[in-house]
Amino acid sequence: MTNSTHHWSDDVLREMKTRSIRTVCTIPDGGLIKLLNMVKADPAHRLVTLTTEEEGVGIATGCWLGGEKAMIAMQSSGVGNCINALGLATAYNAPCLMVVTMRGMWGEFNPWQVQMGMGAKPALEAVGVRCFPVEHADQVGETFAAAADIAFNGRLSAAVLVSQRIIGAKGFGQK
């Protein structure tokens, strides 16, 4: 893919700018790499690399309490790490916006990705997170915008679940 090719990450970054979402917390993942590189290159944004995904909930909550907007970008395997921590955002009536690239579903080669891929949406919904699955790349931006508006206007947790069909299936030896 060349830099001139339109990518769903372009739409997400545009919507982030429109909504003044400055901080992105992440454990880098191949499906997120274009978005993360764009955030890192933009001086108006801050990319925070986590050691575990639940740290992002604390940072996003702290940003909100300090008057800033943040989000978490992670792979579906990290959702399980966040379930307990999402109570922090709820306790402080703070939004927690997530972009989750899904694994374990479409052409998955890695058997240990399957369970969390199947369980991410039900687990998030069980703790009150509004989930917005996206199956088509051209709908990621508008779905992100809707989820961000619900999260920040309603002080709720919301997750955009980017289908593995969009990010592509990996194979052993691929980066």
Q: HSE of 81 in the Cβ direction (CA atoms, 13 Å)?
A: 18
69 within domain boundaries? yes
Number of folded domains in the chain? 1
Q: Over its length of 175 residues, how does the chain's per-residue pLDDT go in tens digits?
A: 334 578 999 999 999 999 999 999 999 888 899 999 999 999 999 999 999 999 999 999 999 999 999 999 999 989 999 999 999 999 999 999 999 998 767 665 666 665 677 789 999 999 999 999 999 999 999 999 999 999 999 999 999 999 888 887 665 554 4
Instruction: Specify whether the CB–CB gap between 55 and 94 falls below 8 A.
Output: no
Q: Domain of residue 147: give its range.
A: 7-44+54-90+100-108+120-128+143-151
CA-based torsion, 101, 105, 109, 111: positive or negative? positive
User: If we measure between CA atoms, which residue out of 30, 27, 37 comes closest to residue 74?
Assistant: 27
Query: Quick check: pTM over 0.85?
Result: yes
169 within domain boundaries? no
